[in-house]
Structure 1
Amino acid sequence: MYQLILRKTFVVSLALALCGGIVFVLLQLAGMIFGSALLLTGPNTVFKTVLCICASIASIAAYLLLHVGSTPVKYAQENSSK
């Protein structure tokens, strides 16, 4: 049950971080092309903070999916025979 929740959390937060990162880069590219300082510095406020939080949530969820709750096969086989 918790693995399903972690997997969904990982996918959603990773998708938000990746899509937000693309928007972030495109806004800065548009700022360089059009010479707009607002487009260059604007995304560095709350938008950048939200992207960092989404990426952090994705990395924590990935760690938990890989390392927590999974019993190694060798350990499980040794204990099942006892």
Structure 2
Amino acid sequence: MATAVAVTTAVGDSGSSSSSECPLPNWIMLDRHVFSRLDLNSCKDDETTSPLCHTSQGDPFRVSFCFAAPPAASRFYVYV
């Protein structure tokens, strides 16, 4: 089962939308499961991957999306 969500892009300091840099559909179907990977470096070249982040306990992680045009489900990944 997937969930439909609206996709918005962040507005940068200049006030312009980043949609020209990364074209996205107006909406996606998001898989209800989060997929995890155990290799932090396996995703660092992916455009949708966050910079290296840390939990409140100091553990490193990254997140990324694998977008798919509806009706296919897009996926959310967590790299730990």
Same fold (TM over 0.5): no
* TM-score class normalised by the smaller sequence: under 0.3
Query: Which of the two has higher C-alpha Rg?
Result: 1
Which structure has more relative contact order (CA 8 Å, sep 6+)? It is 1
Relative to its length, the structure with more helix (as a share) is: 1
Tell me the TM-score normalised to structure 2 length. 0.22
Tell me the TM-score normalised to structure 1 length. 0.22
